[in-house]
Structure 1
Amino acid sequence: MAPRVSESTKADRDNIYVRSAFNYVDAINKAVTELTQTSLERVRDCMSKQAVVELAPSSMTPPGKEDSINSADEHVAFIGLMRGLIKEANIEIFDWVYAAGPRVILQAKANGWSHHDQPYVNDLVFFMDFVDVNDAAVDEFTEFHKQEKHQDRAGLPKLTFIREYIDSAFFKGYMDEEMKRAKSNNMPST
C-alpha cells in the first residue's frame, strides 16, 4: 500500500524527525524477523536513555503491573519476546503527520505470520516524541555503528516517548493462542 499523504505533509518525509520515526519502525521490523542481538541494539539506539514506551489502550497493561509504561530497555526485551512468537512481521506505514514538539504520528498496519502459520494483522498508531535537535547532546543521536553502518540512519534524533495504540483485544488473543501453541509443542509426549 502506498503512503497516503496530503500535499501539505508530503515534504515532511525528508524531515529529520519523520526519518527518525521511519528508522525506528524499520529497526523493529528487522528485530522481530532477524534473530540477532545486533537488531535489538539498533532498536535501543533509536531511543534516548530516559525514553519511555506506553502500550495503549490501558488493557495492554500486563498482569501484575500498575501501568503500561515501559522503559526503553523493557520495551526492547518485549520485542525480543515477540521474536519467539512471530516468524515473519512487517509494520507498514501508510500515513504520517509531523507536529510541533517535536512529534511524529504514524498510522500503520502490522502483517505477519506465527511459527504455527497463523496470520497476524493489526492496526497501529504511534505517537512519537523526540529530542529537539537544537538542544540535543551528542549521545541523543543515533550512532553509525549501531545503525548497521548506514549513513542515512546515523545522526537521527532519538525518541524520548512512544505511545503505541494497537487493537488490544486481537493482540492479546493472538499472543495467548501462540503461547499455548508454543507450550504444547514443547511438552514431552506421554
Structure 2
Amino acid sequence: MALAGTALLALSACGGGPSRSAAPHASPVGHAVQQQAAGRCTAAHLRPAVAGSEGAAGSVYYDLTLTNTGSAACVLKGYPGVSLIQRDGSTVGAPATREGGKGAPVTLAPGRAAHTTLHTLNEGVSDAGCWRGHDLIKIYPPGSYDPLTLRDSHVRVCGGRFTVTAMTVSRA
C-alpha cells in the first residue's frame, strides 16, 4: 500500500496523476541547479610541456602535461596520441602505444593541467637500440583530430618501447 502511495505521489509530481495540485512538492532533483557540462578540451586551448626524465630499473619516464589556456573548464578523457617528428613533418619511429587503464575523465579549470607519462627504456637495455633524433613532439589531445606541436629534442626512445598512459590529474 505504501508503494502505491509513493507511485501516486510521483505521478502527481510529474503532472501525470489524477491530482493536479498547485502546491509545490519537495524533490531534491527539482531544487538542483544544473550546471552546463564542461566540453572536451581542444588543441586550441591547450599548452603542452614535457618535463625531464626519471629512470627506474632500465626504464625512462617523461612527464607530458597539457594545460588549459582557455577561459572555461574542459575535460580530457583517455589517451593522447603522441609521435616524434622532424621539422619536415616526417615521423621518427612509431607513435606511442597505450599503456595501462583508460583512466577517468579529468576536468581542467582554466590554468590547470593534466599529465600523461611517456615510457621508454634506457639505452643498452635492449638490442633494439635507440631511435634517431627528432625535433618536435606531435600530440593529439584525447578525442581530437587536431594536434599540438611541442618543440623538443630531449625525449629519447630506446629499446623499441614507446608508450603513453591515460591523462590524469597533474601532480602539483
Is TM (by shorter chain) over 0.5?
no
Taking structure 1 as the reference length, the TM-score comes to: 0.27
Q: TM-score, normalised by structure 2?
A: 0.29
